[in-house]
């Protein structure tokens, strides 16, 4: 493999053929939820100048790309995933000039921006939907409208946020489809005019110097030819990884002129086979995919709104399946624990509130970052930020959490039991303001500003960036090392992965191999000491990273302390 001159391309000689692909294997992406990152205007909402203000921090961490969740004009029913205009900035977040400054300043630091394209649906406030409502046939064809009587939705499908997936419009005598909130109307990708509009939006942002894109729930864009009731489930089997989805993506990439740029598709309830299809470079679709199966191992019988401790064996099996499967099919995974839709990993799989909070956060980072794929760090993860631990439902903001709090009670659950479930699974756990320092509001906004839009986690006095920057042993500095290692060792970026000791109930271990280099990653997922026996003699390996100072490795036996992670290397 020869690395090309151009930084973003890798030139691979394969059976005499030269092919180009985006060089993303040694990159790390940092996700920013602008609303909760840094507020410079003092209105209690984070903004784009806030991101610019923190670029040196991000550069210091060592990340290559920033994925920013939507900051486009929006009624904010779903925190910006209800887009009312795709080519503008919501004044709450700043101006187009602010964005241009951010792009320029990031560029100076070798950091590229990735924008979040919500192309499955628009807000019902979007001009297209408003014109559809006003009776313009052209725009009615942009959405999925079905004739029908007011008491009979076209199908029995359920919205992902609860309740029916269809809404009736008496003025038109029609129903429209919304797989998410009632204010998020699904676009009709069967219509070539819609596809052309969306490709033009990509060209617009590329012209602004944007380096990549994240595509929101993009495997839901292709709906079936015939809409029918689902007697087995909520309807998702009819539109997930739908019949034309690969063709639409190929067309979008070509027409949007984004081939070779870094792209990631968020894939809801997807399959391995489809994700190979989405990411195998031969298909010219996306660079990588987010899949979520590993983040459902604490859903009881698949239900997010029922509690269960994480099933560690299921987690390991899913990692193995997706690592080996994507590798065999020449696909590429996005690697992640956290995002703005997920509870914090350290609260979920680690030791939040316990003596091993720090070690467990570092272990979780190790498990993900050393795998084959591109790691994503969600703001605050590099500090070991925890779940919100809000005490009352009034502190929650998320539409999905509030809907389900009600749905659980409608099913007969007590308010306190419903709250307990929301506390564990709410998306707001990942949305509390970034903890920069120990001043009022955690330095997210100034002390005399308006109240932050969502409460600051009370533990900011203990968990914050300012402290961790001073402390060589902090989670921040450990993440810095994880990123640096990926750039230093080709085996992490390019190596094959082989799972080790798959049946071990508490240790997650794997081996990486690339052109004679070997790496072994051994993670204890629990708070109890455990001895791990390797099939390989470890004498020639050196430890390149660990979350403890002293390790206990003798020939092929590794004594692991609570939540210990060790990364061993041999050339
Ligand atoms: C994705 C986003 C989520 C949003 C949903 C609907 O899952 O990550 O925040 O609510 O799509 O756009």
- DSSP for residue 495: -
CA angle 194, 146, 165 (to 5 degrees): 85
The confidence score (pLDDT) of residue 209 equals 98
The confidence score (pLDDT) of residue 23 equals 79
- Tell me which residue has its CA closest to atom 5 in ligand 1: 81
pLDDT by residue for the chain (571 residues), tens digit each?
334 333 334 444 444 333 344 579 999 999 999 999 999 999 999 999 999 999 999 999 999 999 999 999 999 999 999 999 999 999 999 999 999 999 999 999 999 999 999 999 999 999 999 999 999 999 999 999 999 899 999 999 999 999 999 999 999 999 999 999 999 999 999 999 999 999 999 999 999 999 999 999 999 999 999 999 999 999 999 999 999 999 999 999 999 999 999 999 999 999 999 999 999 999 999 999 999 999 999 999 999 999 999 999 999 999 999 999 999 999 999 999 999 999 999 999 999 999 999 999 999 999 999 999 999 999 999 999 999 999 999 999 999 999 999 999 999 999 999 999 999 999 999 999 999 999 999 999 999 999 999 999 999 999 999 999 999 999 999 999 999 999 999 999 999 999 999 999 999 999 999 999 999 999 999 999 999 999 999 999 999 999 999 999 999 999 999 999 999 999 9
- CB of 428 within 8 A of CB of 33? no
- CB of 506 within 8 A of CB of 524? yes
The confidence score (pLDDT) of residue 22 equals 52
Q: Does the annotation mark 216 as catalytic?
A: yes
Ligand 1 centroid distance, CA of 120 (Å): 10
- Tell me which residue has its CA closest to atom 9 in ligand 1: 341
Testing ligand 1's pocket by substitution, the residue of 116, 341, 431 carrying the most ligand atoms inside 8 A of its CB is: 341
Q: Which atom of ligand 1 is nearest to the CA of 81?
A: 12
Q: Say yes or no: CB of residue 67 within 6 Å of ligand 1.
A: no
Q: Say yes or no: CB of residue 118 within 6 Å of ligand 1.
A: yes
Contacts of 391 (CB under 8 A, 6+ apart): none
Angstrom distance (rounded) from CA 178 to CA 175: 10
Q: How far is CA 160 from CA 92, 312, 393, in A?
A: 27, 26, 21
For 268-320, the pLDDT digits (tens) are: 999 999 999 999 999 999 999 999 999 999 999 999 999 999 999 999 999 99
Radius of gyration over alpha carbons of the chain, in Å?
23
Q: Say yes or no: CB of residue 180 within 6 Å of ligand 1.
A: yes
Q: Which atom of ligand 1 is nearest to the CA of 118?
A: 12
Ligand 1 centroid distance, CA of 293 (Å): 16
Q: Does the annotation mark 90 as catalytic?
A: no
Ligand 1 centroid distance, CA of 82 (Å): 9
Angstrom distance (rounded) from CA 359 to CA 341: 24
Q: Which atom of ligand 1 is nearest to the CA of 161?
A: 10
Strands annotated E in 73-131: 112-117, 121-123
From 47, 82, 90, 266, the catalytic residue: 266
Angstrom distance (rounded) from CA 526 to CA 430: 23
Q: Say yes or no: CB of residue 341 within 6 Å of ligand 1.
A: yes
User: The pTM is what?
Assistant: 0.95
Ligand 1 centroid distance, CA of 318 (Å): 23
Q: What b-and-e string marks burial along 1-29, b requiring 16 or more CB atoms within 10 Å of the CB?
A: eeeeeeebebebeeeeeeeebbbbbbbbb
Angstrom distance (rounded) from CA 383 to CA 309: 24
Q: Say yes or no: CB of residue 217 within 6 Å of ligand 1.
A: yes
Ligand 1 centroid distance, CA of 314 (Å): 25
Angstrom distance (rounded) from CA 152 to CA 150: 6
- Tell me which residue has its CA closest to atom 4 in ligand 1: 81
The confidence score (pLDDT) of residue 8 equals 39
From 26, 78, 90, 216, the catalytic residue: 216
Ligand 1 centroid distance, CA of 217 (Å): 7
Q: Which atom of ligand 1 is nearest to the CA of 181?
A: 6
Q: Say yes or no: CB of residue 181 within 6 Å of ligand 1.
A: no
Q: How far is CA 158 from CA 163, 177, 219, 399, 411, in A?
A: 6, 10, 17, 16, 16
- CB of 277 within 8 A of CB of 326? no
Angstrom distance (rounded) from CA 339 to CA 408: 24
- CB of 38 within 8 A of CB of 436? yes
Q: Say yes or no: CB of residue 216 within 6 Å of ligand 1.
A: yes
- Tell me which residue has its CA closest to atom 2 in ligand 1: 216
Q: Say yes or no: CB of residue 47 within 6 Å of ligand 1.
A: no
The confidence score (pLDDT) of residue 1 equals 37
Angstrom distance (rounded) from CA 444 to CA 452: 8
Ligand 1 centroid distance, CA of 205 (Å): 20
Q: Say yes or no: CB of residue 398 within 6 Å of ligand 1.
A: no
CA angle 519, 111, 87 (to 5 degrees): 130
The confidence score (pLDDT) of residue 421 equals 98
One DSSP character per residue, 341-370 reads TS--HHHHTS-TTSTTHHHHHHHHHHHHHT
Ligand 1 centroid distance, CA of 81 (Å): 6
């Amino acid at each position: 493999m020869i690395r090309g001159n151009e930084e973003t391309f890798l030139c691979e000689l394969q059976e005499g053929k030269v092919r180009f692909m985006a060089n993303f294997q040694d990159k790390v992406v940092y996700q920013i939820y602008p609303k909760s990152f840094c507020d410079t205007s003092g209105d209690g909402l984070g903004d784009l100048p806030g991101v610019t203000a923190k670029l040196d921090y991000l550069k210091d961490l060592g990340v290559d790309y920033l994925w920013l969740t939507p900051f486009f004009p929006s009624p904010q029913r779903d925190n910006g995933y209800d887009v009312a205009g795709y080519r503008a900035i919501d004044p709450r977040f700043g101006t187009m000039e602010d964005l241009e400054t951010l792009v320029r300043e990031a560029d100076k630091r070798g950091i590229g921006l990735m924008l979040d394209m919500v192309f499955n649906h628009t807000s019902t406030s979007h001009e297209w939907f408003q014109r559809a409502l006003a009776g313009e046939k052209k725009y009615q064809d942009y959405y999925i409208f079905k004739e029908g009587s007011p008491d009979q939705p076209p199908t029995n499908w359920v919205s992902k946020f609860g309740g029916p997936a269809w809404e009736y419009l008496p003025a038109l005598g029609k129903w429209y489809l919304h797989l998410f909130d009632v204010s998020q109307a699904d676009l009709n990708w069967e219509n070539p005019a819609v596809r052309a509009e969306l490709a033009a939006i990509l060209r617009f942002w590329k012209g602004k110097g944007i380096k990549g894109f994240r595509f929101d729930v993009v495997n839901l864009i292709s709906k079936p030819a015939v809409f029918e009731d689902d007697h087995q489930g909520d309807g998702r089997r009819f539109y997930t990884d739908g019949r034309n989805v690969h063709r639409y993506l190929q067309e979008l990439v070509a027409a949007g002129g984004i081939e070779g740029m870094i792209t990631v598709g968020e894939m809801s309830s997807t399959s391995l086979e489809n994700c190979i299809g989405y990411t195998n470079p031969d298909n010219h679709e996306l660079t990588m995919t987010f899949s979520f199966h590993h983040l459902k191992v604490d859903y009881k019988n698949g239900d997010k709104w029922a509690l269960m401790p994480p099933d560690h064996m299921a987690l390991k099996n899913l990692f193995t399946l997706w690592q080996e499967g994507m590798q065999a099919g020449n696909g590429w995974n996005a690697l992640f624990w956290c995002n703005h839709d997920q509870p914090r990993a350290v609260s979920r799989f680690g030791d939040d509130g316990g003596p091993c909070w720090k070690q467990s956060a570092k272990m979780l980072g190790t498990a993900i970052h050393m795998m084959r794929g591109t790691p994503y760090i969600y703001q605050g993860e590099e500090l070991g930020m925890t779940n919100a631990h809000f005490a009352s439902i009034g502190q929650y903001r998320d539409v999905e959490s509030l809907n389900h709090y009600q749905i659980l009670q409608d099913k007969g659950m007590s308010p306190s039991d419903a709250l307990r479930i929301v506390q564990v699974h709410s998306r707001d756990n990942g949305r509390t303001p970034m903890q920069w320092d120990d001043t009022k509001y955690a330095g997210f906004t100034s002390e005399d500003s308006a109240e932050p839009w969502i409460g600051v986690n009370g533990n900011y006095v203990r968990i914050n960036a300012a402290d961790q920057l001073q402390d060589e042993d902090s989670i921040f500095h450990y993440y810095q090392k994880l990123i640096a290692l990926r750039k230093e060792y080709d085996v992490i970026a390019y190596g094959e992965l082989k799972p080790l000791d798959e049946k071990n109930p508490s240790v997650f271990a794997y081996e990486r191999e690339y052109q004679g280099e070997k790496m072994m990653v051994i993670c204890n997922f629990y708070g109890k000491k455990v001895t791990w026996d390797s099939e390989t003699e470890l004498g020639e390996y050196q430890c390149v990273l660990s979350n403890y100072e002293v390790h206990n490795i003798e020939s092929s036996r590794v004594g692991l302390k609570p939540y210990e992670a060790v990364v061993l290397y041999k050339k």
